[in-house]
Amino acid sequence: MGTGSQFNSSLFRFACLTALATLALVSIGGLVTSHEAGMAVPDWPNSYGYNMFLFPISKWVGGIFYEHSHRLVATIVGTLVVALTRWLGGRASQLPLSLIGAAELVAGFALLSVAPKLQGAGHFLSGIGVVVLLAGAVWVRNEPAPKPLPALGWLAFVLVQIQGLLGGLRVVLYKNEIGIFHATLAQLFFVLLCAICLLAGPWWQANNGRFSTTPHHGPRWLAALVTAVSVLILGQLILGATMRHQHAGLAIPDFPLAYGKLWPVTDRASVQLYNQHRLETVGTNAITGAQILLQMVHRLVAICSLLGVGLCAWGASRTFGHRAPLSKLAWGWFGLICLQALLGAATIWSNKAADIATAHVVVGALSLAFGGIMSIVCIRNLTLASGNVLPASRTVAESSGFGAPSPATGIHS
């Protein structure tokens, strides 16, 4: 891993910009599903027959506005990620980028000429091939970033392209399942970019991701708990994505009860009656018993997530003291989860108002990213604490104050 001298503030800022752009993309993606606008532009990568960059603004009406904006911001994120890959990989990334770009360009043109049905994928591949080729041609002989950042850059490079392709295929193949996968991958992709920011950041670069110069004897269960809760949140986000991509609106219209009961009746006759009582204002599918159960599971997992994150925050405070930055981070995570639970309830109380439902998606992404970062930090410090420590003269307290000892508890962080 790198040392403090390897910190590159420009690279760090660029990584943060890419992560922020990705969060914006996730937000617009949330707006797309909240407004039921995912299919508002029937063709891809063109928009109503126009090259997407030339689609007149006057035609960005109704659901087109959300879907088309999502596509444009996605191209910005894709370009940023390609540039980030090049930067993280240094000059060694030039050749592979050039080769991949050329291969994508050729494959794109080949698809366009031999498989008219796959024209969309052909345009997509050739378009992104040009961007990758250009990134490979940038003649800056920079050194690669410290390991494992170049590898993470390449992972982001692959994921962003898969993600773009999935988004397009969801439109042209009419598959809700692809939409669920697309939404889940978006969340994981955002976590990856946040991890890149963490590892490229000043604190990690200066301290090798350690709180302390000495091996830490903190409880390993905390690292395991933080990781397990993060995985639980990921599962919760997958449930949420599945609910959104059923295009059936709210499967249960009340909260905290469900159809006036602690556990709703889901027999065929009851579900039919629920559907009859719904006066839809948008074209949604009828709800099913399975969808009602899905929302109930989502509610139960929400409670488990809330308790789990609360336990993590309590554990961090007990281990490191209330004032330790990791404890503060954990309580921040808990605050975020509380906000997320409130937004979940508000989504139901507002009959799935688009802005609230979108905020629920965004805070969900932030909650997972928080969990991901906490997991990396905890795993680094609580389970791998026996090796590769900094010289005794340098502590995080000196360099960034991240893990200063807590005077209140006397526990060294």
Partner 1 sequence: MKKTCLLAIISLALASSLQAGDISGTVTLKGTPPAEKKFEKKTDPNCGSPEGSTHHYIVGSKGELANAIVSLKGVTGKSTGSSAAPAMMDQKGCEYSPTILAVQTGQKIVVKNSDQTLHNVHTVPGAGAGNKEINQAQGPNAPDLTYVASTPENFLMFKCEVHPWMFAWVSVFDHPYFAVTDKDGKYTIKDVPDGKYTLQVMHRKAAPAASAVTKEVEVKGGNITEDIALDAK
Q: What is the token pair recorded at 358?
A: 């979108």
For the bound state, the minimum distance from the C-beta of residue 352 to partner 1, rounded and expressed in Å, comes to 12
242: left (phi over 0), alpha (psi -120 to 50) or beta: alpha
On whether the CB atoms of residues 151 and 90 are closer than 8 A, the answer is no
Query: Which residue, 5 or 276, is less far from partner 1 as judged by CB?
Result: 276
Query: Which residue, 182 or 210, is less far from partner 1 as judged by CB?
Result: 182
For the bound state, the minimum distance from the C-beta of residue 247 to partner 1, rounded and expressed in Å, comes to 8
Query: Which residue, 223 or 292, is less far from partner 1 as judged by CB?
Result: 292
Query: Which residue, 288 or 383, is less far from partner 1 as judged by CB?
Result: 288
Helix (H, G, I), strand (E, B) or coil at 260: coil
For the bound state, the minimum distance from the C-beta of residue 176 to partner 1, rounded and expressed in Å, comes to 10
- Alpha-helical runs (H) found in 323-394: 325-349, 354-378
Sign of CA dihedral 363, 166, 42, 81: positive
Query: Which residue, 59 or 322, is less far from partner 1 as judged by CB?
Result: 59
Query: Which residue, 175 or 328, is less far from partner 1 as judged by CB?
Result: 175
Q: What is the token pair recorded at 319?
A: 């281990």
For the bound state, the minimum distance from the C-beta of residue 173 to partner 1, rounded and expressed in Å, comes to 10
The DSSP bridge partners found for residue 253 are none
d(CA 218, CA 324): 13
The length of the chain is 413
On whether the CB atoms of residues 182 and 166 are closer than 8 A, the answer is yes
For the bound state, the minimum distance from the C-beta of residue 280 to partner 1, rounded and expressed in Å, comes to 7
Sign of CA dihedral 101, 103, 104, 109: positive
For the bound state, the minimum distance from the C-beta of residue 64 to partner 1, rounded and expressed in Å, comes to 5
Closest C-alpha to 354, from 17, 83, 35: 35
d(CA 153, CA 199): 11
On whether the CB atoms of residues 287 and 271 are closer than 8 A, the answer is yes
For the bound state, the minimum distance from the C-beta of residue 359 to partner 1, rounded and expressed in Å, comes to 19
Q: What is the token pair recorded at 193?
A: 């970019």
Burial (CB count within 10 angstroms: exposed 0-12, middle 13-18, buried 19+), residue 56: exposed
Query: Which residue, 190 or 274, is less far from partner 1 as judged by CB?
Result: 274
On whether the CB atoms of residues 396 and 212 are closer than 8 A, the answer is yes
**DSSP assignment, residue 380?**
I
Query: Which residue, 130 or 172, is less far from partner 1 as judged by CB?
Result: 172
Instruction: Give residues in contact with partner 1 (CB under 8 A).
Output: 35-43, 48-49, 59, 61-65, 67, 171, 174, 268, 272-273, 275-277, 279-283, 285
Query: Which residue, 62 or 335, is less far from partner 1 as judged by CB?
Result: 62
For the bound state, the minimum distance from the C-beta of residue 174 to partner 1, rounded and expressed in Å, comes to 5
Closest C-alpha to 306, from 272, 254, 353, 343: 343
For the bound state, the minimum distance from the C-beta of residue 361 to partner 1, rounded and expressed in Å, comes to 17
On whether the CB atoms of residues 196 and 15 are closer than 8 A, the answer is yes
Residue type, 234: L
Query: Which residue, 62 or 401, is less far from partner 1 as judged by CB?
Result: 62
Q: What is the token pair recorded at 17?
A: 């910009």
- Quick count: other Cβ atoms within 10 Å of Cβ 256? 8
For the bound state, the minimum distance from the C-beta of residue 29 to partner 1, rounded and expressed in Å, comes to 15
